[in-house]
Amino acid sequence: AQKVTQAQTEISVVEKEDVTLDCVYETRDTTYYLFWYKQPPSGELVFLIRRNSFDEQNEISGRYSWNFQKSTSSFNFTITASQVVDSAVYFCALSRLNSGGSNYKLTFGKGTLLTVNP
């Protein structure tokens, strides 16, 4: 069975603070993909990043960075120097690789609401 846990339901920070959103996953598969999505107040989820289970390199994209650690089954997301526009719900998701048709499985965490105050 697959499971994604985002233990932080809500986080509130002041602008320019750094913030880390945690994601812990469970899977029996050796090959899988992890995703982060952002859902701003407008409601439309937006894809941020995809990572496969064989690539543990950390990734940085501007103020965003992701730390994938297979040893702890975590895929954490850090926003550096947060801004008000970062306020959103962030979802972590896990997909098994060898899934097609009826074998498909994508599991979302319950999301973390991030509020960045001016």
Partner 1 sequence: DVKVTQSSRYLVKRTGEKVFLECVQDMDHENMFWYRQDPGLGLRLIYFSYDVKMKEKGDIPEGYSVSREKKERFSLILESASTNQTSMYLCASSTGLAVYEQYFGPGTRLTVT
Q: Is 111 in the site for partner 1 (CB under 8 A)?
A: yes
Q: Is 61 in the site for partner 1 (CB under 8 A)?
A: no
Q: Among 113, 109, 114, 115, which residue's Cα sits nearest to residue 23?
A: 109
Smaller CB separation from partner 1, 82 or 91? 91
Q: Is 34 in the site for partner 1 (CB under 8 A)?
A: no
Answer for the pair 49, 76: CB distance below 8 angstroms, yes or no.
no
For the stretch 23-34, what's the b/e string if a residue is b when 16 or more beta carbons lie within 10 angstroms of its beta carbon?
A: bbbebeeeebbb
Site residues, partner 1 (CB under 8 A): 9, 33, 35, 37, 42-47, 50, 52, 91, 95-102, 104, 106, 108-111
